[in-house]
């Protein structure tokens, strides 16, 4: 057991960890390589992060894999990312089963290439009975778009008298989001030193703790995730209450 892992209180683990995997391009550039090289070398960071989250008992980990804005990147890079998604998902199936990982996705996945959609759906179906940790890939995902779509769908149901407008609350909105089957985010990690959330899980991160690290994503390992957990556990999560109320459980 690592020294950092020993410092973690296993009774105060974030249930849902979300990660903005940033820095692949800069990592590749530092090595004099194309951006795609960085994406290809990011898979180890994914494996290590999921393994670390599972090891400490987190039940959900969501990775910002491809945003709606990423479609604006050079076609060569987008095509390479889609190809990498297909090959890596296929390759990881044995490990998903071995480590009891359930794969999930959120986003406008119907915008992905047909082959990517097919492989993604197959992996989701094949791992649907796994239960130790749910690994969600945010693909063609944008939080504003998600919220707009939820509003449209709720509005249609109000017009069709399926929902009483007076009864619209947080639960109703949650049930119309991509993340309807996921809990709110407890901890959000962003790598590469950037300090913004970039249209990622805006509703779901209302009370999340935000952690930013200078580490570029391809270099991110278990110990880096443990650092984030230790920092998380040193914070006081009040959810609008006072410190005194938290101390006395009022």
22 annotated as a binding-site residue = yes
**Encoded tokens for 130:** 């796994």
Q: Is 12 flagged in the annotation as binding?
A: no
Q: Is 217 annotated as a binding residue?
A: no
- Whether residue 227 is annotated as binding a ligand: the answer is no
65 sits in which H/E element? strand 60-67
On whether 25 is known to bind a ligand per the annotation, the reply is yes
Q: What are phi and psi of 67, to 5 degrees?
A: -90, 165
Check whether 235 is labelled as a binding-site residue. no
DSSP state of 184: P
- Token pair, residue 184, equals 């709110």
Of residues 135, 138, 2, the one with CA closest to residue 58: 135
Kindly tell me the sign of the dihedral angle through the C-alpha atoms of 196, 199, 205, 206: positive
**What DSSP assignment string belongs to 153-183?**
HHHHHHHTTSS-GGG--HHHHHTTSTTTTSP
Is 20 flagged in the annotation as binding?
Answer: no
Tell me if 190 is assigned to a ligand binding site: yes
- Residue 14: DSSP 8-state: -
Residue 144 is assigned to a ligand binding site:
no
Question: 67: annotated binding-site residue?
Answer: yes
Q: What angle do CA 118, 23, 9 make, to 5 degrees?
A: 90
Which helix (H) or strand (E) segment is 189 a member of?
strand 187-190
Which residues are identified as catalytic? Answer: 22, 70
| Cα–Cα distance, 98 to 188 (Å, whole number) | 26
Residue 24 assigned as binding residue: yes
Does the annotation place 237 within a ligand binding site? no
Residues in binding site for substrate = 23-27, 35, 39, 67-69, 71, 73, 190, 196-198
Residues in binding site for Mg(2+) = 22, 209
Residues in binding site = 22-27, 35, 39, 67-69, 71, 73, 190, 196-198, 209
């Amino acid at each position: 057991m690592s020294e950092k892992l020993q410092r973690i209180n296993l009774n105060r683990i974030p249930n849902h960890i979300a990660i903005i995997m940033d820095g692949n391009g800069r990592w590749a550039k530092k090595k004099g390589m194309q951006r795609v090289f960085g994406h290809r070398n990011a898979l180890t960071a994914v494996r290590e992060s999921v393994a670390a989250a599972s090891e400490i008992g987190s039940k959900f980990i969501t990775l910002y894999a491809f945003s709606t804005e990423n479609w604006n990147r050079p076609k060569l890079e987008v095509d390479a990312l889609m190809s990498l998604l297909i090959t890596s998902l296929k390759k990881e199936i044995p490990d998903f089963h071995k480590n009891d990982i359930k794969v999930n996705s959120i986003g406008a996945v119907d915008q992905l290439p047909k082959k990517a959609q097919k492989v993604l759906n197959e992996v989701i179906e094949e791992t649907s009975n796994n239960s130790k940790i749910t690994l969600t890939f945010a693909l063609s995902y944008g939080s504003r778009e998600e919220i707009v779509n939820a509003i449209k769908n709720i509005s249609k149901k109000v017009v069709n008298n399926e929902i009483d407008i007076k009864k619209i609350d947080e639960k109703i909105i949650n049930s119309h989001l991509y993340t309807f089957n996921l809990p709110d985010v407890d901890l959000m990690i962003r790598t590469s030193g950037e300090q913004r959330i970039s249209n990622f899980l805006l509703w779901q991160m209302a009370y999340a703790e935000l952690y930013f690290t200078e580490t570029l994503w391809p270099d991110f390992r278990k110990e880096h995730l443990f650092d984030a957990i230790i920092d998380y556990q040193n914070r006081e999560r009040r959810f609008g209450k006072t410190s005194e109320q938290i101390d006395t459980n009022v």
